[in-house]
Structure 1
Amino acid sequence: MRFYIALWFAKIVNGLINLIDKSRGSNFAGEHAMKIDPQMVAHFKGIDPDRVLFITGTNGKSTTNNLVNHIFRENGKKVISNLEGANLIYGVCTALIKASSLTGRVKADYFIFETDERFVPVIRRQLPAANLLITNLQKDQVQRNGDPDFIYRKLKEAVKGQNLRIFLNNEEPRARAFDEDAREVVSFGVARHSEAFRKSGSYVTMACPRCHHKIVFDYYNTDGIGAFHCSNCGHRSLAQADYTVEDVDFENRSFREAGADFTMPYDTPYMLYNYSAAVAVAKEFGGIEPSAAAKAFAGFRNVGGRFEIMHYKGKTIKYMRIKQENPETLQTSINVMAADPNRKMVALGLCPLVDMIPHYAVTFYAYDCDFSKLVKSDVEKYFCFSNPVCYDTANRFIYEGVDPAKITIEDSEDVEVIFREIEEAETDNIYLITWLHTYEHMEKFLKKEGAVYE
C-alpha cells in the first residue's frame, strides 16, 4: 500500500509542477515519493532487466543518453528515460512515475537511464539493469569524487559477478579495464583523425588501473582518451574496437561506422565517442542497423546548452557548457578553441561547484590543463568572469605567458555585463564557456535580445 500512496502523491506533485513550469521537476517527485516508499523503484511492474541500460561515466553520459534515445525513438521504439539529466535514483524514479499507470505498471520497449557513476550500485539494487555503458572515468570535482581511481574501484565492486553486458570505451584505460568483469563486452572507439594530438613527456599521464604502472598514449583523440598501452602489463586498447568511428572529415562533418555513412550533428572531436557508443548500443541493444541509426543522426539536437552557436549583434558566439571543476572537459574546450586559426575572443566563466561546504577549497583545476596552444593561437582578448574564480582564471593565463593587458576581469556572472564585454570585442568570433546556471540566465537574455541559434 505504501507504494501506491507514494505513486499517487508523486503524480499529483508532477501535475502541479506541469501547471507551473514543465521544464522543472526532474527529480522532485521521485525524491519525495521515496521518503514514503524507499524501495519504490523496485516496486514498478513490467520492467525486464534485459531491456534496461544504464549509461554512466565522468563525461559524455548526458549526450550519449540523449542521442541513444533519439535514435531509438526515430526508429519506432518506445523508451522510458531521464532525459532531463537527473541521474541519481530520484531522477530514475521520477521518470518511471511519469510513465507509469496508476497501478505502477510501465510499458516500454526499452528503459535507458543516465546514471551517476557513484550511484550505479545504489540504483542497481532496486533496478537490476543487465546492460551498462561506460563512457570514461576521469578527474571530476575532487572534493566530491576524490581520485578517479576511487570511482573506478567503487564501480568495479558494483559490476563484478553481475552477469552484465558492458559497452565500454576501447581507448580510455579505466573503462577498457572492465572487460574482465562482463558477461559480454561490446567495445566502441574512434580511429586516429586529423585533430588527434600527442603530449610532451612533461605532462603527467595516468597509472594503469590494473598494475599501477605508467600508461603510455600513442596519441590522444581527445584529452585522456586515445590508443594506449601499459608500460608493464598487457592492458591496452584493441587495435580495432567492435564499433569504430573511421574516415572522420571535420570539414564536411562526416564519418563512417560499421559500414554506414554518418553526418555529424556537431563537428567537435569529443563528440565522436558519443557517436560511436550510440551506434553500438543501437545495433547490439536495440537491433537497429547502423544505416537506420545514420538517418536519425541528421535530426539530432543535443540537450540545450551543451554546445550552441548563436548570432548576436553581429557576433558569432560558440558556446560550450562544461562541468565545473573537471579538467578533461575544460581541456577539450581549450583544444577546440586552439584549433580555430581565426582571430577570436575567449570568454571563460569558471565557477566554484557549490555543493559541499567549504566551496572551492581543494584545487584550481585549470592548472591541470595545457593552455599553450590556445595562447599561441590568434586571441584578441581574454575575458575572465565569475565570482570568485575569475582572478584565478586570469592568473592561469598570465602564468601561461599572456600579456595582462589582453585580460579583462569581471567579478560577476551578470549576463548583461558578460554580453556588454562581448559586444566591445573587435572580432566577431567569440568563444564563451560557462556552467549550467549561467547558461539558463543567458538563454533568457538572448531570447529577449532576439539572438538567433543555429
Structure 2
Amino acid sequence: MKFYLALWFAKLMGVAINMISKDRGTNLPGEKALTIDPDFVKHFKNIDYSKVIFITGTNGKSSTTNLVTHILKQNRKKIVSNLEGANLLGGIATILAKEASLSGKLKADYYIFETDERYLPLIYAQLPAQNMLITNLQKDQVQRNGDPDFIIRKLKEVVNPKMTLILNNEEPRSRFFEETACRSIYYGVSHHDESFTKGADFPTQACPKCHHDMSFDYYNVDSIGPFHCDFCGFASKKTPDYLITDLNFYDQSFKLKDVSFHMPYDLPFMFYNYAGSLAVCEAICGIAPEAAAKAFENFKNIGGRFEVLTYKNKTIKYMRIKQENPDTLQSALNIMASDQSEKMVALGLYVVNDFVPHYINTFYAFDCDFKPVVDSNVERYLCFSEHVSYDTANRLIYDGVAKEAITIMDSDNINEIFAEIDKAKTDNIYLITWLSTFEKMKKFIEGGQN
C-alpha cells in the first residue's frame, strides 16, 4: 500500500509542478515518493532488467543519454529516460512514476538512464540494470567524488558477471572493468585532425591495474586516446568493436562500419558520445548503423553545452564546462586554441558551492595547459566573478600573459561584462562561465541591448 500512496502522490505532485513550470519537477516528486516508500523504485511492475541501460561516467553521460534515446525513438522504440538530467535515485523515481500506470505498470522497449557515478550503488540496489556504458572516469567535483579511484571503488560495488558493459576503449579507467562483466563491448575514435600529443613534462595518469605510469600514443580528448602500460601490458585494443573513422571537419561527417554519418557537432569530445551511442544502439538494442545514421540528421543536443550568440557585430561562442573538472576545461581550451584568428577570451570561474563548506576551487586549472591558447592570437582576456577572478588571472600570468592584457572584474555584473566586450576590437569572443551567468547574458541580448 505504501507503494501506491507514493506513486499517486508523486504523480499529483508532478502534475502540480508542471502547471507552474515545465522545466521543474524532475527530482522532487521522486524524492518525496521515496520518503513514503524507501523501496519505491523496486516495486514498479513489468521492468525487464535486460532492457535497462545505465549511462554513467564523469563526462558525456547527458549527451550520450540524449543521443541514444533520440536514435531509438527515431526507430520507433518506446523509451523511458531521464533526459532532464536528474540522475540520482529521486530523478529516476520521478520519471518512472510519471510513465507508469496508476497501478505501477510500465510499458517500454528500453529504459535509458543517465546515472550519477557516485550514487550508482544506491540506484542499482533498486533497479538492477543488466547493461551499462561507462564514458570515462576523471577528476571531478572533489567535494563529492574525491578522486577517480574512489569512483572506481563505487562502481566495483555494482559491476558483476550478469552485466554487459559498453566501455570507452581509449580511457584506461573505463576499460579497467572489462574483466568483471559477462560481456564487454568496446568503442573508440580513430586519429583525426584535432588529435594531439603532450610533452614529456606534462603529467600522465597511473595505470588502474598496476599503478605505474601510462603511455598515450596521442590524445583525441585530454586524457583519452590509445594507451599502453609498459609495466603490466594493459592497453587499448587496436580495433575496438565500434570505431569512428574518417572524421572530416570540413564536411562534418564520419564513418562507422563503412556507414557515413552526418556530424551534428564537430567538437572532439562529442566523437566519443557518438561512438558510445552507436555501440549501445546496435549491440544492445539491435539498431544497425544504417538505421541510426538517419537519426543523426535531426539530432539536437541538450541546450547550454555549446552555443553561439550574436551581440552587435560580435560573435560570442559559449562553452559550458563543469567548474570542478579539469578535462572539460581542457577540451574548451583546446577548441579555443584551434582557432588561430584574433579573439577575446572571457573566463568566469566561480566558487564551488555544491554544499557547505563552499570552497574556491582553482586547483583544477593548474591541471590544464593554457599555453596553446596564449599562443593562439588572443587580443585580450577578461577574468570575471567574485573571488575567483584574481586566481584566474594569475593562472594566465603563469603561462606568460602580460598583466596589461588582462581585465579583472571581481563581479559578474552583466552590464560590466558587456561593456568590456564592447571594448574589444575583435568580433570573435570565446566565453567560459556558469550556465546561470550565460543565461543572464542571453536575456541581456534578447532584451534589445544589442
Find the counterpart in structure 1 of residue 232 from structure 2: 233
Q: When the two structures are superposed, what TM-score results if normalisation uses the length of structure 2?
A: 0.97
Please tell me the residue identity of whatever aligns with 1:210: K
How much has 1:375 moved relative to structure 2?
0.3
State the distance in 1 between where 2:296 and 2:84 align. 20
Q: In the alignment, does 2:87 pair up with 1:87?
A: yes
Percent same amino acid at aligned positions?
58
Find the counterpart in structure 2 of residue 105 from structure 1: 105
Secondary structure of 2:218's counterpart equals coil
Once the two structures are superposed, the pairs formed by residues 26-425 of structure 1 within 5 Å of their partners are 26-159=26-159, 161-360=160-359, 364-425=363-424
Please tell me the residue identity of whatever aligns with 2:30: G
Please tell me the residue identity of whatever aligns with 1:216: S
Contact persistence 1:364–1:392 (CA under 8 A): no
State the distance in 2 between where 1:120 and 1:162 align. 17
State the distance in 2 between where 1:173 and 1:369 align. 19
How much has 1:446 moved relative to structure 2?
3.6
How much has 1:123 moved relative to structure 2?
0.4
Contact persistence 2:351–2:360 (CA under 8 A): no
CA RMSD between the two structures: 1.4
State the distance in 1 between where 2:310 and 2:72 align. 32
How much has 1:422 moved relative to structure 2?
2.0
How much has 1:357 moved relative to structure 2?
2.3
Please tell me the residue identity of whatever aligns with 1:94: T
Secondary structure of 1:158's counterpart equals coil
State the distance in 2 between where 1:156 and 1:68 align. 25
Secondary structure of 2:279's counterpart equals helix
State the distance in 1 between where 2:401 and 2:37 align. 56
Please tell me the residue identity of whatever aligns with 1:129: A
Deviations 1:36-65 (A, max 9, x none): 111111111111001100000000000101
Q: 1:441 to 1:155 in 2, by over 3 A?
A: same
Contact persistence 1:325–1:364 (CA under 8 A): no
How much has 1:257 moved relative to structure 2?
0.8
Secondary structure of 1:351's counterpart equals coil
The farther-off stretch of 286-295 and 164-173 is 286-295
Once the two structures are superposed, the pairs formed by residues 439-450 of structure 1 within 5 Å of their partners are 439-449=438-448
Contact persistence 2:322–2:328 (CA under 8 A): yes
How much has 1:185 moved relative to structure 2?
0.9
State the distance in 1 between where 2:115 and 2:206 align. 25
Deviations 1:69-125 (A, max 9, x none): 111111111111111111111111111111111111111111000001111111011
Q: In the alignment, does 2:15 pair up with 1:15?
A: yes
Q: How many aligned positions are there? A: 450
State the distance in 2 between where 1:419 and 1:301 align. 28
State the distance in 1 between where 2:16 and 2:378 align. 49
Q: When the two structures are superposed, what TM-score results if normalisation uses the length of structure 1?
A: 0.96
State the distance in 1 between where 2:373 and 2:234 align. 33
Deviations 1:303-324 (A, max 9, x none): 1101112222121111110011
Please tell me the residue identity of whatever aligns with 1:413: D
Q: Structure 2: 5+ residue runs without aligned partners?
A: none
Please tell me the residue identity of whatever aligns with 2:272: Y
State the distance in 2 between where 1:287 and 1:214 align. 38
Secondary structure of 2:92's counterpart equals helix
Contact persistence 1:324–1:350 (CA under 8 A): yes
Please tell me the residue identity of whatever aligns with 2:56: T
Contact persistence 1:386–1:411 (CA under 8 A): yes
State the distance in 1 between where 2:324 and 2:38 align. 32
Deviations 1:242-279 (A, max 9, x none): 00110111122111112210111111111100010111
State the distance in 1 between where 2:77 and 2:442 align. 32
Q: Structure 1: 5+ residue runs without aligned partners?
A: none
Q: 1:78 to 1:196 in 2, by over 3 A?
A: same
Please tell me the residue identity of whatever aligns with 1:229: H
Q: 1:84 to 1:445 in 2, by over 3 A?
A: farther
The farther-off stretch of 279-288 and 49-58 is 279-288
